[in-house]
Structure 1
Amino acid sequence: MESLKAMEEVDAENMCQLCNSIRSKYVCPRCNISYCSVSCYKSPNHSDCSEEFYKGNVQEWLAAEGTDPEAKNEMMEILKRINQQDDEFDDCVDESDGDSDEEESLSDRLAMVDLDNPDELWAKLLPEEKQEFLELIKSGDVAKLVPEWEPWWEDKHPMPKVRFADDNSEPEYKSKCPKIRTVPEFSHLTKTEPSPQVYFNLINVLASYSITARYMNGDFSELPREAATILINISKNLSSNAIFNDLESAVESVNQCIIDCPWITLEPDSKRVLQMTNDVTWILEGPNEEEPFFYAKAALSEAIEIMCAAKNFKETRRRGKFSSAFPEPTEASPLASKSTLNKCMKKLEYYLSWTDKHLSAYRIK
């Protein structure tokens, strides 16, 4: 009897907190209330929370994607597919309705829309489109409709077996990588012999850079301050001068920072450490044996560029009626200060100079 009573108590704890009749399957990411289905999630008792959370995400996503030359076409495809996709929570979806008229109407409505302005786009959507678009943003499925960025460091470019003496052309892979910055010679930066831990500290920074690049889908140009803040916060070496003694702890530290950080919206992933380890390995191996440090220098150079862009960034985004009703994405966490950005730039320049002078003595262990 006691066992049965305990089971009943466990079941009661797992019931949907909105209808109190069905076992909960999901948890609201904003208020942590447990719910069983999209119907409960949309219920009046929960609408204030869901609207505020989703609209904030919509504004952030639209602002990040809006200036891409191909963004209008991508947005059109996303909105068209919204009307074609099954609702993951509902069993019944009427797929018999033709969508040609809907797509034509949608095209007409968005024909003159400025995708730089999330308020203007939002005003053009029908109520059901707004709701479904919000759900698509929340579920993360919107990323499936946008081409996934392919990291440049995954490409290997074997040295050609034959090379003409007068061939001074730059290898094609260099045009796909961040431009390498010029930094002072290492001997000009310090006369002190660097400790072996510098290598593992560098790994911590490179792992943080790789996850930031993937998180931003390879594009830092529109949100450099957010990118810099993420990069600094998930690298303990950059944020608090942590010292690492091996590859495993250097990479695991980044993973733990991601887990502990409430404003980095990455789902728990058991494969993330492996992915970061692979990323670091590929970066440190370089494109080929002739230039094994090129990718490491390119990654560090872009990290410096992110800090520089963040420091010099001037906000030009407009705040309309819809946008002003909700907080900016970065209000959840303070952006890195200029003094912090300057400090991190100096450290990254140190690592870039160190890479030229000392990286050849190390290998992934």
Structure 2
Amino acid sequence: MSEQTSEVNSQNICGLCNEKSSKYCCPRCNVFYCSLDCYKSEKHLTCSESFYKDCVNEELASHQADDESKRKMIEILKRMQNEDLGNPDDIEEMLQNLDKNGEDDEPIDSDDEEEIDLHDRIKDLNLDDPDALWNALTTDERNEFEALLNQGDVGSIIPQWQPWWMYHKEEKLVEDVDEKDKPTEDRLADCPSLVKVPKFTDLTTVKPSPAIRFNIANVLAAYAFTTRYFNGEIDPVEGTTYVLSVCGNLESNTNFEDPAIAVEAVAQKCLVSELIETDEASLKVMKDDVFQILKGPSKDKKSFYCKAALSHLHRIFSEAKTSGKQNKSANNKSNFSRKFPEHTREHLPNLDISKVKKCIKKIEFYLSFIESYGQETE
């Protein structure tokens, strides 16, 4: 009887540390052990590593695993290493939770679970408040954002702005005169609203010079380039500064005698500007944009895009006039502001507000001219 008791006691002792009572049995080598530490100890390292490797290979072989499935598998192995799960057979249970699509029924960690409901976390927040958005992110999401900034890859996740002037109605040989052109109406509703201006005859009695149309082309080229340069999101002061830096007509009252020269003048100023980094491909896009704006959305609304562009520019300059001298306080910075300093205008030259006012009047003059005479440059 005593011999049987001794044999049982010897079987209950951990076969790896030979100290504590064993609780588990290795499914590969059948050694009895007491804890996960012993299971992962040097004495058992060859067997345990082989076990993990075989589990991963078997699971990947049983599924056509995509990148997401592989990522989840790695997370499972990390949990096995970092947590005392007791019996390594638990890994098989977790592997079984992976369904045929490679998705885990149980959340791997709290961050993964929260990542699913990111939309719910920010749906009631003010999206213009960076601190509120920053506080709603998980640690992993914040780290990912910082990594994108450090690598300069933020542009890869920002959708490219689609200019409103790219739409043109398809001309048909035969059209129903009673048919309403709803697609065109919907497209025009997405354009900048038009600024109301006095009649041209109320502004001057002098016969307009042919150069006006060419000067307008110079302004449109500067506007089109700047709008694309900032991906459709223009700060009034910064946008005004950039337009003036490449638009000879607004900046120094330069007159042009040819539309191609007027547009090319903007391209050359962009290439030598200290504020702008561009290339020939971007400038070619700018030239095409001017053509699209001059073409208009349809044959009967040929001047609409010109008026919409100048109206938008009028608002940008008007906002710059009122906000150019306002300086935001740097006190009481929040966590986000301290970590990511707010974009400043220190790199910009001082904006001449008196010149901005004159430009606003000139833009109104051009709008009034187009309203009366159109903008056909040929």
Output the TM-score relative to the length of structure 1: 0.61
The reply on whether 1:237 has 2:249 as its aligned counterpart is: yes
For 1:129-160, what per-residue CA distance to the aligned partner results, in whole angstroms no more than 9, with x for missing partners?
76763553466532231222211111002467
The residue number in structure 1 matching 2:209 is: 195
Q: Any residues of structure 2 matched to 1:5-16 within 5 Å, and which?
A: none
AA aligned opposite 1:311? K
- Whole-Å separation in 1 of the counterparts to 2:346 and 2:352: 14
The residue number in structure 2 matching 1:153 is: 165
User: What's the CA shift for 1:116?
Assistant: 3.7
Bigger mean CA deviation after superposition, 279-288 or 176-185: 176-185
Structure 1 gaps of 5+ residues are 1-83, 85-93
Q: 1:338 aligns with which of 318, 330, 353?
A: 353
- Whole-Å separation in 2 of the counterparts to 1:128 and 1:271: 37
RMSD: 3.8
The reply on whether 1:212 has 2:222 as its aligned counterpart is: no
Contact 2:238 2:345 (C-alpha < 8 Å) held by counterparts: yes
User: What's the CA shift for 1:284?
Assistant: 0.5
The reply on whether 1:301 has 2:311 as its aligned counterpart is: yes
- Whole-Å separation in 2 of the counterparts to 1:168 and 1:130: 47
- Whole-Å separation in 2 of the counterparts to 1:212 and 1:106: 36
- Whole-Å separation in 2 of the counterparts to 1:292 and 1:251: 19
Structure 1 SS opposite 2:299:
coil
The reply on whether 1:312 has 2:322 as its aligned counterpart is: yes
The residue number in structure 2 matching 1:280 is: 290
User: What's the CA shift for 1:290?
Assistant: 0.7
Structure 2 SS opposite 1:257:
helix
Q: 2:299 aligns with which of 289, 292, 297?
A: 289
The reply on whether 1:224 has 2:236 as its aligned counterpart is: yes
Contact 1:208 1:231 (C-alpha < 8 Å) held by counterparts: yes
Contact 1:156 1:286 (C-alpha < 8 Å) held by counterparts: yes
Structure 2 SS opposite 1:171:
helix
The reply on whether 1:359 has 2:374 as its aligned counterpart is: yes
The residue number in structure 2 matching 1:25 is: none
- Whole-Å separation in 1 of the counterparts to 2:368 and 2:346: 35
Contact 1:119 1:321 (C-alpha < 8 Å) held by counterparts: yes
The residue number in structure 2 matching 1:270 is: 280
Instruction: Give the share of equivalent positions with the same residue, in percent.
Output: 34
AA aligned opposite 1:357? S
Q: 1:359 to 1:168 in 2, by over 3 A?
A: closer
Bigger mean CA deviation after superposition, 285-294 or 307-316: 307-316
Q: 2:363 aligns with which of 341, 348, 360?
A: 348
Q: 1:182 to 1:125 in 2, by over 3 A?
A: closer
- Whole-Å separation in 2 of the counterparts to 1:136 and 1:250: 39
AA aligned opposite 1:179? S
AA aligned opposite 2:155? A
The residue number in structure 1 matching 2:154 is: 142
User: What's the CA shift for 1:280?
Assistant: 0.6
Q: 1:195 to 1:320 in 2, by over 3 A?
A: same
Contact 1:255 1:272 (C-alpha < 8 Å) held by counterparts: no
Q: 1:259 aligns with which of 261, 268, 271?
A: 271
Contact 2:226 2:239 (C-alpha < 8 Å) held by counterparts: yes
- Whole-Å separation in 2 of the counterparts to 1:148 and 1:207: 19
AA aligned opposite 2:362? K
Query: How many corresponding residue pairs?
Result: 268
The residue number in structure 2 matching 1:163 is: 177
User: What's the CA shift for 1:115?
Assistant: 5.1
For 1:151-188, what per-residue CA distance to the aligned partner results, in whole angstroms no more than 9, with x for missing partners?
111100246711329x6988222201111111112222
User: What's the CA shift for 1:299?
Assistant: 0.7
Greater RCO structure (CA 8 Å; 6+ sep): 1
User: What's the CA shift for 1:289?
Assistant: 0.9
Contact 1:183 1:353 (C-alpha < 8 Å) held by counterparts: yes
AA aligned opposite 1:307? F
- Whole-Å separation in 1 of the counterparts to 2:247 and 2:73: 51
Structure 2 SS opposite 1:210:
helix
For 1:299-330, what per-residue CA distance to the aligned partner results, in whole angstroms no more than 9, with x for missing partners?
11111011122223477788436636857421
- Whole-Å separation in 1 of the counterparts to 2:144 and 2:333: 24
Q: 1:103 to 1:244 in 2, by over 3 A?
A: farther
AA aligned opposite 1:330? R
- Whole-Å separation in 1 of the counterparts to 2:143 and 2:181: 56
User: What's the CA shift for 1:121?
Assistant: 5.5
Q: 1:335 to 1:164 in 2, by over 3 A?
A: farther
The reply on whether 1:174 has 2:184 as its aligned counterpart is: no
AA aligned opposite 1:345? I
Q: 1:315 to 1:176 in 2, by over 3 A?
A: farther
